[in-house]
């Protein structure tokens, strides 16, 4: 049975997207499987990746999120804190990440 997405209170983080990969720590839930709502508020496709503090996003192998698109992704947390990384072809706006459960 699917449940509606339930965001973790006061947990949304954002990254100003640019041509260089940038990352932000989302949660510290070692080994857990969580959902992350991703909102690309920018004007172009952004590529997203999840992992530990060394994570980087790539224009060729990361998850593409189109401009104006909202996705809820299921993510396996690493042994330590979960980070999100994002990159685009240039400065396009912000990508927002909200961890939670459900879906």
CA atoms of 25 and 6, how far apart (whole Å)? 19
Check residue 67 and give its pLDDT.
96
Boundaries of every domain in the chain: 26-97
CA separation, residue 93 to residues 17, 43, 103 (Å): 6, 7, 27
CA atoms of 40 and 77, how far apart (whole Å)? 21
Going by the DSSP 8-state scheme, the letter that residue 89 receives in this structure is S
Check residue 51 and give its pLDDT.
98
Q: Which of 1, 3, 18, 26 is nearest to 103 (CA)?
A: 3
Q: What percent of the chain has pLDDT over 70?
A: 97
- The per-residue pLDDT for range 9-33, each reduced to its tens digit, is 999 999 999 999 999 999 999 999 9
pLDDT(71) > 80? yes
pLDDT(103) > 90? no
pLDDT(1) > 90? no
pLDDT band at 102 (very low <50, low <70, confident <90, very high): confident
């Amino acid at each position: 049975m699917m449940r509606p997405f339930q965001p973790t209170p006061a947990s949304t983080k954002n990254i100003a997207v640019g041509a260089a990969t940038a990352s932000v720590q989302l949660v510290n839930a070692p080994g857990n499987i969580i959902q992350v709502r991703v909102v690309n508020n920018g004007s172009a496709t952004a590529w997203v990746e999840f992992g530990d503090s060394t994570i980087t996003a790539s224009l060729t192998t990361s998850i593409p999120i189109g401009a104006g698109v909202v996705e809820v992704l299921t993510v396996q947390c690493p042994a330590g804190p979960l980070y999100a990384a994002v990159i685009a072809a240039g400065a396009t706006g912000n990508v927002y990440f909200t961890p939670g459960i459900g879906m």
